[in-house]
Structure 1
């Protein structure tokens, strides 16, 4: 087996690509002689288009750079250990092609005759056929390669391009997608798929494709390349300004970044715009300083960003003055300027001036007004307290164009925002009369039904929307929300996990329809994580990162889940190092880094990061748990117990709650515990009423009371899931003991039942959930020295929970008001 050095310099006659060159360009800039005046058109572009932009020319050249394809082909051949007939001969033939020597085709034909199983020989033959525009013949050569080397992605990519040349787009895209399924993904295949998505009006899908190339390109730290700018433009078109921030933040923070480099200049300009859109003053100032004394500083986009930055710094007069000086004859730029003035006036608190600018903005569209423009107008008007005025305008426009379903959808969106659900339903009926298969209308109907508490009907509406268009990620997530409603389910830390697991098949269904959705994989990971399915969660987070390599939440959770598993800590450390570079001050990043250090045997260092995380995420249960375990490692018992109990008072994933209780029992093992019982009401915790002794026995947990001040007779008694006795809000009122959560061992059983079903209700009357105790008998004076037993309970599993006493005995599976409570620390 021989290694083949990478052949450089093979060129292809670019005239053979003319048909695609005219429509496959990748950057959306207005014609300009220099980068200082490159501007972004506000049109709803479906395909990047350009004429003379320097960056666009680079993009065109890069998209059809078959030199890089050949180099990629040979690199992958080495990676796959493919059999090479004669490396020296192949390199010689490549030199003949490079110099356009007429002997090259004959030499290649002889080589293939001599080595008929050499895939790279056929690959070069396919390139030669491309140069002669013999695409059909090229497909034969490429398919020959793939018969014996099905995982050789460069050949598959080139086959996909050949089909595109033959206008067999479906076949071409199929081959390009197959290139993504192999181990060695071809960046050029990704770019062509992104182009196809744009051609079909789907910039979101194009973004999903193109950001995969970050696996090979990385995030720029010293110099941006063309792929980075193409991705930034896609982020801009989809309003993902956070994506631009993450992409170019390190480049801006690097003091050695060469600002004479055209691509760097454009990257920092994009960052400046994104930072001001996201109100990130610190990054905006860094970008602004980078652009000072460059040709881009006085460009229209940079001036808009400077005005926005001045507004964020409360320099309102300067911001408005700058915007007034920017009047443009370009209609799109002028609208953008007027809209920015409206934003600045709103930031200043000048509602009338802002509303006036919004009116100018929306009327400038005339009959050509777009749904996006109207949405912007309505939302900003509502924020100014002029929502009804904007809503009336929207109704008027929709009445003029009643068959415009997208316009009607914006009206429904605004009516839902105004809580006018009756009006929204009426508009939806109107939309569906003229557009019966308009998927967004069913989604919005589902939202309304969900808001009305009609989850079953909402689920049906979401399902119908997905039947019509299964690629709506927000609808899949809404469907899961209707199936798993936090308003109606008692999602305690111990029981929510199993219920969350029931959603995993729905995630798999959604992912089958949307295999390129990083968001779906991330959400699946979070759902699996909450149910303690850590291996499933890890696989989902890893898949999310493959699709979006520098997605901060997925990076954080990939580190945390590996630390939880105490597995693959070396890989976790690599991910942690990336986090430390990308967002060192982010509290979630500090949490992940700190937790990993604790699991790696460095608790003191870990606690420093975790305390920093807690400052940014006050009272976060997971951070409290991580800190508690850190102090356990340092043998600082009292501090550890305090943090673990605090963590258990909030919502923790099942496996963390179990680990917290295990830690409590390890540090303070007990077979008997005396807890204080206190009166509780809507104001909170009151006076002490006595004590209860909890003791492990052969008969189970022995519960012995020594209490006064209770109602005479039998009173219900249960263990609740959280170690708190505080009041909480229920149906808008403060209610005693609500913060303790649901009955331990009770909630999941109830979630599996339809409590409107008479059979289930009857069954509940006779069931004794694990955490429910026999009633506590109290004498006529309100005192009790009774002893009851929890036959299935141990003190160890009840650490970090509470014991609740209810007024009167349980009836038909229901308890009376909570009147007394004890914390089991």
Structure 2
């Protein structure tokens, strides 16, 4: 028996199968895949290179065009053609395609099978054959045929889309998403033209809760003057985009999408409940909660309708100041839940309570609404609610009981419970226990992308240091990500994380390789395209490819300064220094002066254009933030090249909550006669006694991200697990370092640790330090910090930038 749902699915998909045996399709041909134009596979571009015909290609093309034009004589024409050329595989392929269009998969299998008997090496024909088998519920045979297609044509969109459907039937949403992402290499990316492949992938993202990915995929359509698609299809695309936009709090994009729907169809569209709900959501995000509630009140004309809208009404009531009433309504609905949706209602209650700042008694009200021994799924949601609502002990007890339960707990629920328990362990500082729980969860679901990323996050603990300064090799983290890439080879996110890790560590060739794999799997993500472009540019790879990636990122996200930076940098690396590429970098810098990567790029380009002082200033500025290792090294080289010196004088300033304050003295760094650097500190205004002195990695006196005074200076120079030195000048092993106290076994210390400055009673200081284990060049482009030795914790009190 033919599955009706599959036959309907075929109507939307089968037109991905052209006569052309080509790996890609033109934009014009792909744009016809909207699920309503059945003849699009007979597009002239797809007929340009037909299957190797054993008959008359021109005559067969006429038959195909007749089919495209829905000419009733097309069927007779094909019959006559087959009488003349009974061994032409192209004719049998066309017959099979026509039969699939007519929802006759059983007959299509016979025609397509005959084509493959005559000529087996036809991936598009075999993909259609696999699709027809699937429609006949011959899943194993279908999967086998479709997999065989990918062996010779790994980007075949028809095979990928039917494998996507099979993965969904198997309940493997992540695999379905990965097939959809891969198919974009043929279907292209949506801008003025969009097709069903884009919409289907966006809906899979929505189903998985990957709202940002769905937004990245569909949002480019808003930059086109008009969406080139049938009205109803365009409305579906824009409606999906509006929904996604509201989920990630992008009211401007949501409003644009809704306005286009109204302009394209009719403003009366908002009388339809789904569109009216989207309008209400958008109004709420625009700060017009009362108007949103008026729409929801109109839609809640019956108790059943009101219950179906409880989530929308509750979130809107937060904005109208009715939080207590919203929580009470949800609790009441939970107490009288006839639909078996209590777990979802508990999750909604948690969302509303969190948005309201967890009102007093909220947890107790929820517990009172639930049975004393809730079902496992409800118990897990309640545990999550307790964890977020400030009752971690209750959450831990509940999740432990769930994991130790003798009841049959489904594997997905057990995995979620292990995740929650791991999060509680990690929050309490018990990383080993958290890691073990995630490993236990991975035993149950080894291809779970989120679990691998969680394991990577728990495994890598930089102690608050930036990526570029803490453990440059990131050995442990990289091992985890490599293991993850082997377990989930089609995860764009994991390959992207590997690429970012290699890039920040300075391994640009490997970074480019990893990031290009990520782009192949998820070509719509602008940030991955951007990073891949930078990695190719920095490694000297395919600069034409880098240019294409940078241009795509800029098209998709034109207002993002980082895309302008990437475009300017790739242009320089590809075509040489020019005022045009500098203009792009300057635009990026003006839009985001804090972006140190842009400053690093500007430094090199300014140097090439002969603007020495500006280049040196940009190089020093770039060192004041988190740079990739290779960028940091290059910025330091530029600074030293453009401003060579045997003596550097820097003002010492007191630190404030806002950064450097009053100048109290000066620090002089001089190259030693034979080796080392002589540091002289002089001035007035420090606490009396011994005050620790350290050179820190980053030339900044600003507060850290958490507001810590002087925290932006990063760790002590030499806290990178590799640049430690004994006082006799020999290297120490990283394993001998005590990270918690910054002290070392024996007579060792980080390279940046200097002897304490002895300050007199009046706060006067005049200290000379012979740091024979350092060089002047290596301390330039860093900062010197003086700590208050009289206070517990020895907080930073004064700072000097070593320029």
What TM-score range do you get, normalising by the shorter chain? 0.7 to 0.9
Task: State the alpha-carbon separation in 2 of the partners of residues 671 and 449 from structure 1.
Answer: 52
2:633 pairs with one of 639, 648, 658: 658
Structure 2 residue runs of 5 or longer lacking an equivalent are 26-44, 65-73, 725-732
Task: Give deviations 1:538-567, integer Å, cap 9, x for gaps.
Answer: 122211121121112112212222333354
Aligned to 2:776: 795
Q: Is residue 132 of structure 2 the alignment partner of residue 154 of structure 1?
A: no
What displacement does 1:469 show?
0.9
Aligned to 2:353: 381
Q: After the TM superposition, which of the residue ranges 315-324 and 254-263 deviates more from structure 2?
A: 254-263
Change (3 A) 1:399 1:182: farther
What displacement does 1:478 show?
1.5
Aligned to 2:729: none
Task: State the alpha-carbon separation in 1 of the partners of residues 333 and 588 from structure 2.
Answer: 43
For the residue of structure 1 that corresponds to 2:317, the secondary structure is helix
Aligned to 1:422: 393
Task: State the alpha-carbon separation in 2 of the partners of residues 772 and 339 from structure 1.
Answer: 57
For the residue of structure 2 that corresponds to 1:649, the secondary structure is coil
Aligned to 1:60: 10
What displacement does 1:311 show?
2.8
**1:695-706 → structure 2 map (5 Å cutoff):** 695=671, 697-703=673-679
Aligned to 1:189: 159
Change (3 A) 1:278 1:165: closer
Aligned to 1:564: 538
Kindly indicate whether the alpha-carbon contact (under 8 Å) linking 2:156 and 2:186 is maintained by their aligned counterparts in 1. no
Aligned to 2:622: 647
Change (3 A) 1:197 1:158: same
Task: Give deviations 1:186-234, integer Å, cap 9, x for gaps.
Answer: 1111211221222133444323322333222223444433333323332
Task: State the alpha-carbon separation in 1 of the partners of residues 24 and 554 from structure 2.
Answer: 32
Change (3 A) 1:765 1:175: farther
Task: State the alpha-carbon separation in 2 of the partners of residues 330 and 225 from structure 1.
Answer: 39
For the residue of structure 1 that corresponds to 2:648, the secondary structure is strand
Change (3 A) 1:680 1:132: closer
Aligned to 2:566: 592
Aligned to 1:490: 465
For the residue of structure 2 that corresponds to 1:201, the secondary structure is coil
What displacement does 1:463 show?
1.0
Task: State the alpha-carbon separation in 1 of the partners of residues 203 and 640 from structure 2.
Answer: 55
Q: After the TM superposition, which of the residue ranges 285-294 and 704-713 deviates more from structure 2?
A: 704-713
Change (3 A) 1:583 1:515: same
Task: State the alpha-carbon separation in 2 of the partners of residues 99 and 413 from structure 1.
Answer: 65
Task: State the alpha-carbon separation in 2 of the partners of residues 126 and 360 from structure 1.
Answer: 57
Change (3 A) 1:206 1:774: same
Change (3 A) 1:203 1:622: same
Structure 1 residue runs of 5 or longer lacking an equivalent are 1-17, 26-56, 112-118
Task: Give deviations 1:590-643, integer Å, cap 9, x for gaps.
Answer: 332343345444654445544554566462332333344454444444444444
For the residue of structure 2 that corresponds to 1:822, the secondary structure is strand
Change (3 A) 1:92 1:631: closer
Task: State the alpha-carbon separation in 1 of the partners of residues 534 and 435 from structure 2.
Answer: 33
Q: Is residue 316 of structure 2 the alignment partner of residue 344 of structure 1?
A: yes
1:724 pairs with one of 682, 685, 700: 700
Change (3 A) 1:641 1:417: farther
What displacement does 1:728 show?
5.4
Aligned to 2:284: 311
Kindly indicate whether the alpha-carbon contact (under 8 Å) linking 1:684 and 1:727 is maintained by their aligned counterparts in 2. no
What displacement does 1:450 show?
1.0
Kindly indicate whether the alpha-carbon contact (under 8 Å) linking 2:182 and 2:521 is maintained by their aligned counterparts in 1. yes
Change (3 A) 1:374 1:136: farther
Task: State the alpha-carbon separation in 1 of the partners of residues 734 and 153 from structure 2.
Answer: 42
Task: State the alpha-carbon separation in 2 of the partners of residues 280 and 83 from structure 1.
Answer: 45
What displacement does 1:446 show?
1.4
Aligned to 2:19: 71
Task: Give deviations 1:439-486, integer Å, cap 9, x for gaps.
Answer: 222222211111111112211111111111123222211211111124
**1:247-258 → structure 2 map (5 Å cutoff):** 247-257=217-227
2:748 pairs with one of 762, 767, 770: 767
- RMSD (Å), alpha carbons: 4.5
Change (3 A) 1:823 1:249: closer
Q: Is residue 650 of structure 2 the alignment partner of residue 675 of structure 1?
A: yes
Q: Is residue 527 of structure 2 the alignment partner of residue 553 of structure 1?
A: yes
What displacement does 1:387 show?
5.4
Q: Is residue 351 of structure 2 the alignment partner of residue 369 of structure 1?
A: no
Aligned to 2:601: 626
Task: Give deviations 1:73-111, integer Å, cap 9, x for gaps.
Answer: 4778999xx998764357778969954877887877766
Change (3 A) 1:341 1:125: closer
Task: State the alpha-carbon separation in 2 of the partners of residues 425 and 368 from structure 1.
Answer: 25
For the residue of structure 1 that corresponds to 2:669, the secondary structure is strand
Task: Give deviations 1:163-186, integer Å, cap 9, x for gaps.
Answer: 647866456435534544655521
Change (3 A) 1:356 1:223: farther
Task: State the alpha-carbon separation in 1 of the partners of residues 300 and 761 from structure 2.
Answer: 85
Aligned to 2:718: 745
**1:510-529 → structure 2 map (5 Å cutoff):** 510-529=484-503
Aligned to 1:532: 506
Q: After the TM superposition, which of the residue ranges 96-105 and 352-361 deviates more from structure 2?
A: 96-105
Change (3 A) 1:768 1:433: closer
What displacement does 1:72 show?
4.5
Q: Is residue 260 of structure 2 the alignment partner of residue 290 of structure 1?
A: yes
Q: Is residue 420 of structure 2 the alignment partner of residue 439 of structure 1?
A: no
Aligned to 2:55: 88
Task: State the alpha-carbon separation in 1 of the partners of residues 388 and 770 from structure 2.
Answer: 53
Kindly indicate whether the alpha-carbon contact (under 8 Å) linking 1:805 and 1:819 is maintained by their aligned counterparts in 2. yes
For the residue of structure 2 that corresponds to 1:743, the secondary structure is coil
Change (3 A) 1:637 1:72: same
What displacement does 1:661 show?
0.8
Change (3 A) 1:255 1:808: closer
For the residue of structure 2 that corresponds to 1:490, the secondary structure is coil
Kindly indicate whether the alpha-carbon contact (under 8 Å) linking 1:314 and 1:348 is maintained by their aligned counterparts in 2. no
Change (3 A) 1:648 1:369: same
Kindly indicate whether the alpha-carbon contact (under 8 Å) linking 1:679 and 1:686 is maintained by their aligned counterparts in 2. yes
What displacement does 1:432 show?
0.7
Q: Is residue 245 of structure 2 the alignment partner of residue 279 of structure 1?
A: no
For the residue of structure 2 that corresponds to 1:497, the secondary structure is coil
Kindly indicate whether the alpha-carbon contact (under 8 Å) linking 2:214 and 2:244 is maintained by their aligned counterparts in 1. yes
For the residue of structure 2 that corresponds to 1:457, the secondary structure is helix
Task: State the alpha-carbon separation in 2 of the partners of residues 93 and 258 from structure 1.
Answer: 30
Change (3 A) 1:507 1:72: farther
Task: State the alpha-carbon separation in 1 of the partners of residues 326 and 422 from structure 2.
Answer: 34
Change (3 A) 1:373 1:596: farther
Kindly indicate whether the alpha-carbon contact (under 8 Å) linking 1:307 and 1:318 is maintained by their aligned counterparts in 2. yes
What displacement does 1:426 show?
0.4
